[in-house]
Amino acid sequence: MLPRVRGKQSTTLAFVIIAFSVLIFRFAFAGQDVFSFGAVPPMSGGEFAAAFSAVLGVWQVREYKAKSIEMNTGENTNVN
């Protein structure tokens, strides 16, 4: 697990990094034959932006939720 800004462990951040890595790989090699896996389906810039925004949005909502709970209760909680 990776540390968050506030110092706690974040499993969500690990999944976000994996998702971003897969998205970037897929966008970079879209429409090409990659190794022995065959052709990667084409991906437009709009599809990449929508997928990137969706992953980033989920992460931001979870961080916002954790921070708002922390501010409202005064507790140092972890939403994960």
pLDDT tens, the chain, 80 aa long: 555 556 667 777 788 889 999 899 888 888 888 777 778 788 888 999 999 999 889 888 888 887 787 777 766 555 55
Q: Is residue 78 part of a domain?
A: no
Sign of the CA dihedral with 79 first, then 8, 68, and 19 last: negative
| 33 φψ region: left (φ > 0), alpha (ψ -120 to 50), beta (else) | beta
Q: Is residue 45 part of a domain?
A: yes
Q: Is residue 12 part of a domain?
A: yes
| pLDDT confidence of residue 54 | 92
| pLDDT confidence of residue 78 | 56
Regarding pTM above 0.85, the answer is no
Q: Is residue 80 part of a domain?
A: no
Q: Is residue 68 part of a domain?
A: yes
The DSSP bridge pattern shows strands 2-3 and 38-39 to be unpaired
Q: Is residue 79 part of a domain?
A: no
The DSSP bridge pattern shows strands 9-10 and 33-34 to be unpaired
Query: Rg of the chain over CA atoms, in angstroms?
Result: 17
User: Which structural domain range is residue 40 located in?
Assistant: 2-73
Q: Is residue 13 part of a domain?
A: yes
Total number of domains in the chain: 1
